[in-house]
Amino acid sequence: MSVNQLSCSPRGRSLIQKFAGLRLTAYQDQGGVWIIGYKHTGPDVIEGLTITQKEAEQLLINDLTRFNNGVNALVTVKINQNQFDALVSFAYQLGLGSLQQSTLIRLLNAGNFQAAADQFPRWDRAGGKEVAGLLAQRNAERELFLTPI
């Protein structure tokens, strides 16, 4: 059983929504993956698909279940809600595999919370280049991670 049994809070969900943006018509990313809503992907997302904002919200809630479970499973130390929300936001954008393989999770699970927090801004690249939007998201996640409850 996991040390934490947390779920992403409304504050964490807002952070994800802010940086994911909302698109009600399916589009392809640079890698050719079909995306809709708040960056929802999967076999249900096909060319020409259009959804409502309410449907986009439900897809996000459904997707967050997987990320909540994944983060709870990866974190072996007790964390607070803000730390959890920051980690879910990170994993939502980069994938649970990236979090699992990261120095961030290794440092966190070793109990070095400050060093773990300092890892967030290192994930600011796409295609080998720094991306200002990614750095802004990582800094927002770091700030939330360091915010006491």
Beta bridge partners of 80: none
How many C-beta neighbours within 10 Å does residue 131 have? Answer: 13
30 or 43: whose pLDDT is higher?
43
**Rounded alpha-carbon distances, angstroms, from residue 111 to 76, 106, 117, 145:** 9, 9, 11, 14
Residue 130: both structure tokens together: 């720094």
Residue 96: both structure tokens together: 């649970």
> How high is the mean pLDDT of the chain?
95
pLDDT digits (tens, 9 = 90+) for 58-77: 999 999 999 999 999 999 99
Q: Could you tell me which of 3, 148, 134 has the C-alpha nearest to residue 75?
A: 3
pLDDT at 53 over 80: yes
pLDDT over 70, % of the chain: 99
CB–CB of 2/72 below 8 Å? yes
How many C-beta neighbours within 10 Å does residue 15 have? Answer: 22
| SS3 of residue 5 by DSSP | coil
Architecture field, domain 10-146: Orthogonal Bundle (1.10)
Q: What is the DSSP string of 36-100?
A: EETTB-STT--TT-B--HHHHHHHHHHHHHHHHHHHHHH--S---HHHHHHHHHHHHHH-HHHHH
What pLDDT, on a 0 to 100 scale, did the predictor assign at position 128? 84
Residue extents of the structural domains in the chain = 10-146
pLDDT digits (tens, 9 = 90+) for 103-116: 999 999 999 999 99
Question: How large is the average pLDDT for residues 73-92?
Answer: 98
